Amino acid sequence: MAGLSLKNLHKTYGKVEVIKGVDLEIEHGEFVVFVGPSGCGKSTLLRMIAGLEDISSGELKIGDTVVNTVQPRDRGVAMVFQSYALYPHMTVYDNVGFGLRLKKTPKDVRDKKIREAARILQMEPLLDRKPAQLSGGQRQRVAIGRAIVREPEVFLFDEPLSNLDASLRMDMRMEISKLHQDLGATMIYVTHDQVEAMTLADKIVVLNGGVVQQVGSPLDLYHTPANLFVAGFIGSPKMNFIEVEVVEAAGGTVTVSGPNMTKISLARVSDGLNAGDKLTLGIRPHQLVPAENGTITGTVTLVENLGNETYVNLELASGKTLIVGLDGDFKVTLGQTLTLDPAPNKAVLFDAEGLAISAV
Ligand code: ADP
Ligand code: MG
């Protein structure tokens, strides 16, 4: 197994730069997820690691070796794609063992590895079937088996679950997590789905426009987003953003107010704030708490009862709508007026550039 080191990696297609200087350290045995919207460069970065795309500039190390010009098959990586790309006329057994046969691995060694992969993935009863006789989840398991028998230092997954339906996706997510625990291998996993990222990752790398926005554990990103992009991308339903103005910044606190709310004071971490500065206040749906004479008041325009929790759309006087997450037992009706307070020390302030300037 090996860690990876990415130093100032760039990728350009002609004049278009799609990876704009990525620096990243990945520890040996870590489960790292690249997450971001479609087109942000996740697959390109993963394919650069795999050796399927040239590196325009920068340095990529796997273990202690710079691998910029090393052939894909010699990098000690195995990749699993969204499309399973199985050979339809071959059995599961032969599909899993195909790469080993190409490498002329002796038959008995091959057999042992295929059966071990089948055991890990609990697909021993499927070995004689053809891909057409498998469900989507089983096919993806075969594709993962093909990666396992190569015994790579690093597993690379590119949206492996995107073709599966929602409930199967959840099952497979748990299987991949368990696979990581069992093998202890370094894994890099690409997805556009922030829930997948939150549930699988030791470390999440949020990408946007070919630039790393933030690197951190799932809860780091959730509680202390570095900027508006990360704050809006991580967490479901999304964080609410309210335009506010600084009323007073003195001592250890900053007081802000907006057209939609009375004054609210937060712990201050930035010294450079002045009255009149325009900021954005970010508050997650569950951190808006019903209160008598709260700072934020609005009208309930939508109620979604999910059982253990209830989501409400709250329309403010300005016309802006906030999403509020309430306990499932909280009684709320359409059209009623609701007043709320942000939970203490849970709101985040962002400056005009969108950078977080208050700690949670
Ligand atoms: P993601 O996987 O995050 O959805 P990609 O890494 O596939 O994004 O693509 C990142 C950007 O690079 C996109 O804007 C895409 O259009 C562009 N791109 C990808 N491959 C090529 C290519 N071969 N030639 C030109 N542009 C490309
Ligand atoms: Mg992609």
CA 271 to ligand 1 center in whole angstroms: 40
Neighbours of 318 (CB within 10 A): 13
Which ligand is nearest to the Cα of residue 12, counting in written order?
1
Is there a single domain that holds both residue 298 and residue 186? no
Domain around 276: 240-359
Nearest Cα neighbor of 216 from 229, 197, 237, 232 is 197
Ion ligand 2 residue ranges (Cβ < 5 Å) = 43
Decide: 18 in ligand 1 pocket, CB within 6 A. yes
Beta carbons of 290 and 339 less than 8 angstroms apart = yes
Is there a single domain that holds both residue 126 and residue 247? no
Distance between the two ends of the chain, CA-based, in angstroms?
36
Is there a single domain that holds both residue 65 and residue 202? yes
Decide: 230 in ligand 1 pocket, CB within 6 A. no
Positive/negative CA dihedral, 17, 85, 205, 55: negative
Decide: 13 in ligand 1 pocket, CB within 6 A. yes
Beta carbons of 80 and 156 less than 8 angstroms apart = yes
Decide: 40 in ligand 1 pocket, CB within 6 A. yes
Whole-prediction pTM value?
Answer: 0.93
Let me know the angle formed at the C-alpha of 197 by 208 and 7, rounded to the nearest 5 degrees.
Answer: 50
Each residue's pLDDT, cut to its tens digit, for the chain (360 residues) gives 689 999 999 999 999 999 999 999 999 999 999 999 999 999 999 999 999 999 999 999 999 999 999 999 999 999 998 888 899 999 999 999 999 999 999 999 999 999 999 998 889 999 999 999 999 889 999 999 999 999 999 999 999 998 888 888 888 899 899 999 999 999 999 999 999 999 999 999 999 999 999 999 999 999 999 999 999 999 999 999 999 999 998 878 889 998 878 888 887 667 788 899 999 999 999 999 999 989 999 999 999 999 999 999 999 988 999 999 999 999 999 999 999 999 888 899 999 999 998 654
Out of 233, 258, 282, pick the residue that ends a domain.
233
- Cα→Cα distances 266→163, 165, 324, Å: 44, 43, 20
Residue 47 CA, closest ligand 1 atom number: 6
Instruction: Look at residue 209 in the predicted model and tell me its pLDDT.
Output: 97
- Nearest-CA residue for atom 7 of ligand 1: 43
- Nearest-CA residue for atom 21 of ligand 1: 13
H or E element at residue 171:
helix 166-183
pLDDT tens digits for range 120-130: 888 999 999 99
What percent of the chain is modeled with pLDDT above 70? 98
CA 71 to ligand 2 center in whole angstroms: 22
Q: β-strand 31-35 against 186-191: which pairing, if any?
A: parallel
Instruction: Look at residue 268 in the predicted model and tell me its pLDDT.
Output: 67
CA 44 to ligand 2 center in whole angstroms: 7
Instruction: Look at residue 230 in the predicted model and tell me its pLDDT.
Output: 98
Ligand 1 mutation target, pool 44, 162, 233, most atoms within 8 A of CB: 44
CA 41 to ligand 1 center in whole angstroms: 6
| Close Cβ partners of 139 (under 8 Å, ≥ 6 residues apart) | 84, 86, 131
Is there a single domain that holds both residue 199 and residue 275? no
Question: CA–CA separation, 326 vs 249, rounded Å?
Answer: 31
- Nearest-CA residue for atom 24 of ligand 1: 13
Is there a single domain that holds both residue 199 and residue 252? no
Is there a single domain that holds both residue 58 and residue 34? yes
3-state secondary structure of 321: strand
- Nearest-CA residue for atom 25 of ligand 1: 13
Residue 38 CA, closest ligand 1 atom number: 4
CA 158 to ligand 2 center in whole angstroms: 7
- Cα→Cα distances 294→70, 221, 289, 322, 360, Å: 61, 28, 9, 15, 20
pLDDT tens digits for range 42-82: 999 999 999 999 999 999 999 999 999 999 999 999 999 88
CA 212 to ligand 1 center in whole angstroms: 16
Is there a single domain that holds both residue 103 and residue 245? no
Is there a single domain that holds both residue 298 and residue 169? no
Is there a single domain that holds both residue 126 and residue 269? no
CATH code of 316's domain: 2.40.50.140
Is there a single domain that holds both residue 291 and residue 183? no
pLDDT tens digits for range 321-344: 999 999 999 999 999 999 999 988
CATH code of 60's domain: 3.40.50.300
Out of 208, 233, 258, pick the residue that ends a domain.
233
Beta carbons of 144 and 156 less than 8 angstroms apart = no
Is there a single domain that holds both residue 276 and residue 304? yes
Decide: 41 in ligand 1 pocket, CB within 6 A. yes
- Nearest-CA residue for atom 26 of ligand 1: 13
| Close Cβ partners of 354 (under 8 Å, ≥ 6 residues apart) | 227, 228, 229, 280
| Close Cβ partners of 122 (under 8 Å, ≥ 6 residues apart) | none
Decide: 42 in ligand 1 pocket, CB within 6 A. yes
- Nearest-CA residue for atom 6 of ligand 1: 41
Is there a single domain that holds both residue 263 and residue 292? yes
3-state secondary structure of 326: strand
Out of 233, 257, 275, pick the residue that ends a domain.
233
Ligand 1 mutation target, pool 10, 12, 13, 47, most atoms within 8 A of CB: 13
Q: β-strand 296-305 against 77-80: which pairing, if any?
A: unpaired
- Number of structural domains, the chain? 2
